[in-house]
Homo-oligomer: A and B are copies of this chain.
Amino acid sequence: MYRFECDYSESCHPAILDYLAETNLIQTPGYGEDHFCEAAKELIRKECALSPEECDIHFMIGGTQTNLTVIASLLRPYQGVVTAASGHINVHETGAVEATGHKVLAIPSNDGKLTAAMVQDVYNAYHEDVTKEHIVQPAMGYISWPTETGLLYTKEELCDLSACCHKLGWPLYLDGARMGYGLMSSACDLSLADIAQLCDVFYIGGTKQGFLMGEALVFTDPELSIGYRSMMKNRGGMLAKGRLLGIQFQAMFQDGLYFQIAKQADQYAMQIKTAFEEKGCKFLYPSMTNQQFPILPDAWLKELEKDFAFSFWQRMDAEHSAVRFCTSWATQQEAIEKLLAAIRSL
């Protein structure tokens, strides 16, 4: 069985294990105050083109933890976070944001993107309402990049959204669980430095990009991060051996490995995309990243299921379903070749 059902089926890239082994017995302070974390922050700042004064970086364990802690930290109790309805915080975190007391203001969106116009509409609807004290105040924007649908905001879209949020006085938060796959996509016109300029807070995902676990959270407005370490502990998100996160980010960022492996995964995904296109398939979303959502006849699914694992996404009609194929740092050349052959022979 060749597995394409998600991008976190294995432990981690071997370079991480090697560096963990190499540094294993070095003694450090706990809770992220070690020199590995410092070195990793320096590498991340360099990629983001930010000086130490311009940002504040924290290493977190996982995405849901990061999302809930950031959102609870930035909002006052009667405020909510605005997201496309398909946003991870709205649909796949078991109410983790609501558990911190905040409403997720979910805006319908066909492609999973939140636009400047949507944000402006939400703002206007609130501020034009004379009974606004009876309504949750929208106060920050949340986007995933790439989206849960595999799509990328263009530089223009992100500039517009950022400008709109900032005009309204909202912070813009970008969930970069699959940041690398986005940046390395052939369709991407944004750099990490662009993202750092346009967003007030964002995280660079590790879990889905070959780490054991870990996300690097970057505040580009240090005012917003006041007290953030206390917030982390208050929500149970401060790792005792914080070095583990620093070590992984150091291993992955010091020679660009983070980007190389994402690029390879994206290229494999494009091969899958092309193979399905050549068979005349449509796609649920026009993804140019490591997640592909072809719409396939049920008969084809049955055939493919014999040798390949992938995820059911949604039924389209009586005879077709959309499914998801994921590539990752761990996808093997051989698996791709087998899959391409199988598609062609459908």
For the complex, would chain A's binding face be called helix, strand, loop or mixed by DSSP majority? loop
CB contacts under 8 Å to B, within A58-94, are: 61-69, 72-73, 76-78, 80, 91-94
Within 8 A of B (CB), among A208-233: 208, 212-213, 227, 229-233
State A188–B264 Cα separation when bound (angstroms).
55
Question: Do A133 and B229 form a contact, CB below 8 Å, given A11-B241, A95-B80?
Answer: yes
* Contact between chains at B93 and A233 (CB < 8 Å): yes
> A61 contacts which chain B residues (CB < 8 A)?
61, 239
Q: Determine the chain B residues whose CB is within 8 A of the CB of A273 once the complex forms.
A: none
Asked if A92 and B237 make an inter-chain contact with CB atoms under 8 angstroms apart, the answer reads no
Q: Is A324 an interface residue (CB 8 A)?
A: no
- Is there a chain B Cβ closer than 8 Å to A337's Cβ? no
Q: Is B236 within 8 A of A96, CB to CB? A: yes
A199 within 8 A of B: no
Taking a contact as CB atoms under 8 Å apart, the answer to whether B233 and A213 are in contact is no
Q: Is A124 an interface residue (CB 8 A)?
A: no
Quote the shortest CB–CB distance from A315 to chain B (angstroms).
11
CA distance A8 to B31 in the complex (A): 10
Tell me which of B80, B98, B236, B330 contacts A65 (CB under 8 A). Answer: B236
**A26: B residues at CB distance < 8 A:** 10-11
Find chain B residues with CB under 8 A from A345 CB. Answer: none
A12 interfacial contact with B, CB 8 Å: yes
- Decide: A239 near B62, CB < 8 A? Known: A93-B134, A98-B98: yes
- Residue numbers in B under 8 Å from A65 (CB-CB): 236-237
* In the complex, A107 has a CB within 8 A of chain B: no
In the complex, which of the residues B17, B232, B247 contacts A20, with contact meaning CB atoms closer than 8 Å? Answer: B17
Number of interface residues of A (CB under 8 A): 77
Indicate if the CB atoms of A78 and B213 lie closer than 8 Å: no
A162 at the interface (CB under 8 A from B): no
Taking CB atoms, residues of chain B closer than 8 Å to A102 are 95, 98
Question: What is the CA–CA distance of A9 and B243 in the complex, to the nearest angstrom?
Answer: 9
CA gap between A159 and B67 in the complex, in Å: 41
Find out whether the CB atom of B10 lies under 8 angstroms from the CB atom of A94.
no
Q: A51 interface residue, CB < 8 Å from B? A: no
User: Which residues of A pack against B, CB within 8 Å?
Assistant: 3, 6, 8-12, 14, 17, 20-21, 23-31, 61-69, 72-73, 76-78, 80, 91-96, 98-104, 131-137, 207-208, 212-213, 227, 229-241, 243-244, 247, 330
> Can you list the 4 inter-chain pairs with the closest CB atoms, starting with the nearest?
A65-B236, A78-B230, A94-B233, A9-B27
What would 17 A/B residue contacts be, using CB atoms closer than 8 Å?
A6-B30, A9-B28, A17-B17, A66-B236, A73-B76, A76-B231, A77-B231, A78-B233, A92-B135, A93-B134, A94-B230, A99-B235, A133-B232, A207-B240, A207-B241, A212-B244, A213-B240
New A-B pairs, 6, CB < 8 Å, besides A12-B24, A93-B134, A98-B101: A17-B20, A62-B240, A77-B99, A78-B99, A93-B233, A212-B244
